[in-house]
A and B are shown apart, each in its own frame.
Chain A
Amino acid sequence: MSLLRQGSPAAGAAPRGQSVSDPDVPAASRHARPQTRWRLSARTRHRGMGLLLVTPFTLLFLAFLVAPLGYAFWLSLRTSTLVGGDHFSWFANYKQTFTDPHFLSGVRRVIVFGVVQIPLMIALALLGALIIDAATSRLAKVFRMTLFMPYAVPAVIGALMWGFLYSPTFGPVNSISQALGLGSADLLGHGLMLTSLGNIVTWQWTGYNMIVLYAALQGLPREIYEAARIDGASQLQTALRIKVPMISSALVLTLMFAIIGTLQFFTEPRVLEPTASSVITPDYTPNLYAYNLAFQYSEFNYSAAISFSLGAVVFIGSYLFLFLTRRRSGLK
């Protein structure tokens, strides 16, 4: 690969997005140019084949994503009350959504949560990735596995487990702090619930993000490090000035996933709800609110409107983020 890149100026000047590792593509098309008719029929055949190959996906995509979305949108335009019956109400549900204190307080809560938790998690993941990228010992492999392991634990089980660890009478967290004479804290109480939830999410997702960043680091050409070393850069300088900027698009990607995940926060609060239902209220997060509206209060229409509004918030949020980081992410 590196030989090619250095040796062939044509490959080096390949347009963005076209991989340098496919030098045979232009060669093949050059070869096929005189036989126009053959090329056409091959292309047609290819197209038919391609359509055939994407059909299963398209069908499933339409049946299980587009159709339910369409149905949900149709639901969200109707209003049905317990005694008033069902009628078409245009965007009345959406109007209600953006003045609904339950929805807005949930959105506010997840934003506060994200502002603290996401940077912390990504910073930890980046640190881990840089360490295992730099380390060459066998220990790095063990470290990588260990950090990644929580991601392999299903979110529900992870949250249940943490709920147990936080328990004021059984939980080792409180037993240890009491043994050390630090007193006990109600980790599932009003004051600390968001922090406790943040801890669960960080535990679960840091390893995953670390692996994404680590994979990006592995894809960087090693010669640059050598060049940096010859120029007198320390390990730290190499990490901060070379590695981090070069994987910025991967960083943007992980941040983006984290933002979307946070706005859609559901599993952990849902699992902890029975243990602390006076703290985790039915409107704790927007997604939890939508769930409770539909399945506890049978307000399917309003719930659909909440879901679409949340979708809009997620879309606008991610678009804004991508727009602000467009130079870093290379998605100009």
Chain B
Amino acid sequence: MSSPTPRRSRSFRRPATAAASAALAGVLLAACGAGGGSSADSSGPVHIKVWAWYPSFKPVVDEFNRTHKNIKVDWVQAGVGQDEYTKLKTVLKAGQGAPDVVMLEFQELPTIQVSKGLLDIGKYGANEDKGKYVDWAWKQVSDGDHVYAIPVDGGPMAMMYREDIFKKYKLKVPTTWAEFKEEAAKLHAADPKAYLTDFGSDETAAGWRQGLMWQAGSRPYTYSASKLPDIGVKLNDAGAKKVYDYWGDLVKNKLVDTTSYATTDFYNGLSSGKYATYIAAGWGPGYLSSVAKTTAGKWRVAPLPQWTAGGNQQGDWGGSTFAVTSQTKHPKEATEAARELFGTSEAAWKIGIDQAYLFPLSNPILNGAYFKSKKYDFFGGQQINSVFVPAANGIGSFDWSPFQDYAYNTDTTEVGKAIQGQVPWSSVSDNVQKQVTTYATQQGFKVNQ
């Protein structure tokens, strides 16, 4: 009587295994198929495969292909940010399948470089571009004569605010963080459903928090690829502590919201008026105008509030580069594509500025009349770059670590605990410091604290 059961269980498992192995086979086949990279005919142009996620990038590629007869760029959108990095790290580990040129944010460069994923394009003429880009950006992509990427766009931070809400509640546009706190209290008291801003507590906002610490003078890493295995790690310096004490206080008093960035709830808050300001970066206007279309004309841009009245301390959040991977078979052509896709091309940058709201780091474009005087309808016709350009010029030098993902994730976890009240805000940066130094030591670095 019980004999049919083992039979059933056996036949039951079979389709499951078959399905699993079929799925696995599919994944592996796809992974193999994705390989290849670039190929060159003896006659035609050299094909250079590019991974990037810039908005409106296709016309930029078309423009490049139109003006370059020896190279044809094949563009692939391989995911935004972390999604692309995950793929890149996998194909680098696999030893094949990487693109020739890849879009990387500044903070990710040392991480990919330390695992030998990037080509030193200084050997292929990239050093000639040294004077073409703003100084702090060039320092982040190079190490002496070694060049690991070409800067494209930057993220100098500023404060976007809803002029209508500020008028309605008679708020003053804060110029210092102390004023920012006063206005936050005033707004929340007048409308308990509204917040002056949203504190970025999630992983996608790790760069936001880092940017604010950057402004507060924090320089957590001292790192140079040529001085391996030495690295300085000081994530709990005075600037970091100042920022966490300040925001911890706002969060504890419920004067700011803590919804994760990059969620529908957050987008909704930006367009519904739940948030009266959005502290963001040079690429922020593009982001804001796409997620909060309905609020067009109501936003304005003001400089980032300062720690001391009349100060001019700035920070950066995000921004990206083109790097050449170590797997490329055409280092010369790949370098050329990285240098000239945007580079100092006015035609490419016109698309980048008008359609993609990119913030150029190339000196002639950044300081050119077109960018500086451009009026933005979304911001009521304001010439917003009169705020962003000085902000970009106030950004000092900054080193990233070659384990930035780990540092950001650890920071996010500890911030999450602090928001829940599991750990005091004052110990967040100390906890992060402890974990990150332990990790770095395990990874073979010689850590100076």
Contact = CB atoms under 8 A, between A and B. Distances in A.
B290 interface: no
A83 B114 contact: yes
B440 to A, nearest CB: 8
Most chain A C-beta atoms within 10 Å of own C-beta, residue among B4, B28, B419: B4
B203 A277 contact: yes
Contacts of B274: 169
A170 B6 contact: no
Nearest to A85: B444
Interface in B409-426: 409, 412-413, 415-416, 419-420, 422
Contact of A250 (B1, B5, B89, B259): B5
A81 B443 contact: yes
B303 interface: no
Given A60-B25, A253-B9, A300-B93, A274 B3 contact: no
Contacts of B445: 82-83
Contact of A297 (B4, B24, B406, B412): B406
A317 interface: no
Interface string B200-220: 011110000000000000000
A275 B3 CA distance: 49
Query: Main secondary structure on chain A at its contact with chain B?
Result: loop
Interface in A15-30: 16-20
A312 to B, nearest CB: 19
B5 A60 contact: no
Interface string A262-290: 00000000000011111101100000000
A216 interface: yes
B442 interface: yes
A84 interface: yes
Most chain B C-beta atoms within 10 Å of own C-beta, residue among A169, A300, A331: A169
A109 to B, nearest CB: 14
A190 B444 contact: no
B3 A292 contact: no
A167 B3 contact: no
Nearest to A219: B4
A295 interface: yes
Contacts of A170: 264-265, 268
B154 to A, nearest CB: 24
B117 to A, nearest CB: 9
Contacts of B167: none
Contact of B89 (A19, A249, A279, A298): A298
B82 interface: yes
Most chain B C-beta atoms within 10 Å of own C-beta, residue among A14, A16, A297: A297
A83 B229 contact: yes
A99 to B, nearest CB: 13
B115 interface: yes
A43 B208 CA distance: 72
B260 A19 contact: no
Contacts of A276: 202, 260
A64 B5 CA distance: 30
A159 to B, nearest CB: 14
B444 A83 contact: yes
Interface in B79-109: 82, 85-86, 89-90, 93
A82 to B, nearest CB: 4
Interface size bracket, B side: 35 or more
A169 B114 contact: no
Contacts of A295: 86, 89-90
B129 interface: no
Interface string B1-37: 1111111110010000000010011001000000000
Contact of A249 (B5, B228, B268): B5
Interface in A168-184: 168-170
Interface string A199-238: 0000000000000100110010100000000000000000
Given A274-B260, A274-B263, A296 B82 contact: yes
A278 B415 contact: yes
A136 to B, nearest CB: 23
A164 interface: yes
B265 A84 contact: no
A153 interface: no
A61 interface: yes
B8 A215 contact: yes
A17 B12 contact: no
A82 B2 contact: no
Contact of B265 (A81, A168, A190, A298): A168
Query: Main secondary structure on chain B at its contact with chain A?
Result: helix
A84 B444 contact: yes
A82 B3 contact: no
Interface in B227-255: 228-229
A330 B442 contact: no
A278 B409 contact: no
B402 A82 contact: yes
B153 to A, nearest CB: 23
Contact of A281 (B89, B262, B413, B444): B413
B265 A169 contact: yes
A65 interface: yes
A167 B413 CA distance: 21
B201 A278 contact: yes
Given A60-B21, A278-B416, A16 B260 contact: no
Contacts of A298: 89, 93, 111, 115
A278 B413 contact: yes
A297 B405 contact: yes
A309 to B, nearest CB: 18
B409 A281 contact: yes
B406 A61 contact: no
Contact of B412 (A17, A278, A330): A278
A17 B406 contact: no
Given A84-B443, A190-B416, A297-B406, A277 B6 contact: no
Nearest to A14: B3
B156 interface: no
Contacts of B307: none
A120 B268 CA distance: 36
B9 A249 contact: yes
A302 B406 CA distance: 15
Contacts of A216: 5, 8
B269 A81 contact: no
User: 6 closest Cβ contacts across the A-B interface?
Assistant: A278-B416, A84-B444, A277-B203, A83-B444, A81-B444, A277-B202
27 contacts: A19-B4, A20-B3, A60-B21, A61-B21, A64-B24, A82-B403, A82-B445, A83-B114, A83-B228, A83-B443, A83-B445, A167-B265, A169-B268, A170-B268, A219-B5, A219-B8, A249-B6, A250-B5, A250-B8, A274-B203, A275-B263, A278-B413, A278-B416, A278-B419, A296-B409, A298-B89, A298-B93
Given A83-B444, A84-B444, A250-B5, 16 more contacts: A17-B6, A81-B442, A82-B443, A84-B229, A85-B444, A169-B274, A170-B265, A189-B420, A215-B8, A249-B2, A249-B5, A253-B9, A277-B260, A282-B409, A298-B93, A298-B115
